[in-house]
A = this chain, B = another copy of it.
Amino acid sequence: MSIPSMNVRDERDDRDNRDVVICECFARDGLQHEPAVVGVEQKVRLIDAFAQAGFARVEATSYSNPAVVPQFADASAVLEALPRRAGVHYKATCANVRAVERAVADAEAGFGANEISLLVSASESHSQKNLRRTRAQQWENIAEMAQCAGERFRVVGTISVAFGCPFEGDVPAAEVVRDVERYLSHGVRLISLGDTTGMATPRSVAALAGQLARECPEAVLIGHFHDSRGTALVNCLAAYEAGVRWFDASFGGVGGHPAKVQYGQGYTGNACTEDLVSLFESMGVRTGLDLDRMMDCARECETVLGRSLLGRVTRSGLHPRARSRAVREAVVR
């Protein structure tokens, strides 16, 4: 599949100078359930700082219904004001056909996202509660969305509750495999496996990633782990050991599924970018980031939200092995 427009690259090129590709999700997934409205200018400054720190993928905004998610009523305004950096994919999430139409319109106006994500749930109950559609209906939608998107964007296929559903419990791996195959049939190779309510375990992660590597080798898996039970990093590492090289994370661990609102559960949160980066770099796994700038970003996110977030290394500093790389590179610059 050729991807001609908007500096869209083959996802394999994301790894030119790094072992793992972390998508920084603060500006969308992070902010989605924050009560404070963050202005266009601040969002643009943050997203550009993320790109300058070296993130090859930044989740920039969502083409949500502004009446439902006022935080992203400014989706087009943010993308229009956003300077673009070479080699960076700016992602916009799209929940339905209308969203993709807006993404296409902005792309045709010359300032759209160069990556969009589509969304299905691996369980019937979660699909109906979260998307208000059956799985079959959502797959019809996905077909229409993929067709509408054409080849303007790099497309990410997200699968919610891939490691377990809060309503149905265990989700059969065969369902997830089928969803991956469906995405592939629409030309979507980048597949984000969502641990929506923190039900993944290191063993289920290894099992699912292993099965997908065998049965759908052309899929490029993204690990999207929530920290609902403190296991985001444990599961990222299990995914890495199983061969996954793309990850979603958010500065300060902000965001994640609105568990409290939807399921009466109290805590959620994404994998925390700065802690995940420190972990990887301490193990010699290269993230491709400018670590000093990355830490500046983590602190800036705290400033924007006006509170201490959940990152540990914003308090304790990067792991010394990561820090020594940052120092070495600063000397070289």
- Closest chain B residue to A166 by CB distance? B320
Whether A234 contacts B265 by the Cβ 8 Å rule is no
5 A–B pairs (Cβ distance < 8 Å), ordered by A: A169-B320, A201-B282, A203-B283, A229-B316, A267-B316
Taking a contact as CB atoms under 8 Å apart, the answer to whether A230 and B266 are in contact is no
Stretch binding the partner chain, chosen from A111-119, A210-218, A307-315? A307-315
Report which of B230, B311, B313 forms a contact with A312, defined as CB distance below 8 A. Answer: B230
User: For the complex, what is the distance from the CA of A279 to the CA of B238, rounded to whole Å?
Assistant: 13
What string of 1s and 0s marks CB contacts (under 8 Å) between A249-277 and chain B? 00000000001000001111100100100
Chain B proximity of A311: nearest CB distance (Å): 7
Partner of A265, one of B227, B237, B283, B316: B316
Contacting pair B279 A234 (CB below 8 A): yes
Partner of A229, one of B259, B265, B279: B279
Taken together as a complex, chains A and B put the C-alpha atoms of A259 and B283 apart, in Å, by: 22
Question: B319, A199: Cβ atoms under 8 Å?
Answer: yes
A235 CB → nearest B CB, Å? 10
A278 within 8 A of B: yes
A126 to B: closest C-beta gap in Å? 14
Shortest CB-to-CB span from A273 to chain B, Å, is 11
Q: Is the CB of A315 within 8 A of B231?
A: no
Say whether A268 contacts B316, CB under 8 Å: yes
In the complex, A199→B272 CA distance in Å? 18
Chain B residues whose C-beta falls within 8 Å of the C-beta of A267 in the assembled complex: 312, 315-316
Residues of chain A touching chain B, judged by Cβ–Cβ distance below 8 Å, are 164, 169, 197-199, 201-203, 227-231, 233-234, 237, 259, 265-269, 272, 275, 278-279, 282-283, 311-321
Contact B265 A317 (CB under 8 A): yes
Q: Are A320 and B279 in contact (CB under 8 A)?
A: no
Q: How far is the CA of A237 from the CA of B237 in the complex (A)?
A: 10
Provide the residues of chain B in CB contact with A199, threshold 8 Å.
319-320
CB distance from A198 to the nearest CB of B (A): 6
Neighbouring B residues of A198 by C-beta, 8 Å: 312, 316, 319
Measured CB to CB, the closest approach of chain B to A230, in angstroms, equals 4
Specify which chain B residues have a CB less than 8 angstroms from the CB of A234 in the assembled complex.
233-234, 237, 279
Residue of B164, B266, B315 touching A320 (CB-CB under 8 A): B164
Question: What distance in Å separates the Cβ of A308 from its nearest Cβ neighbour in chain B?
Answer: 10
| Cα of A275 to Cα of B266 in the assembled complex, Å | 14
Name which of A164, A311, A313 has the most chain B CB atoms within 10 A of its CB: A313
The interface residues of chain B lying within 8 Å CB-to-CB of A315 are 265-267
By a CB distance below 8 angstroms, the chain B residues around A269 are 312
B282-A227 in contact (CB<8A)? no
Other 12 A-B pairs with CB < 8 A, given A201-B321, A229-B282, A229-B312 = A164-B320, A229-B316, A230-B275, A231-B278, A233-B233, A259-B316, A265-B317, A266-B314, A266-B315, A267-B315, A267-B316, A268-B316
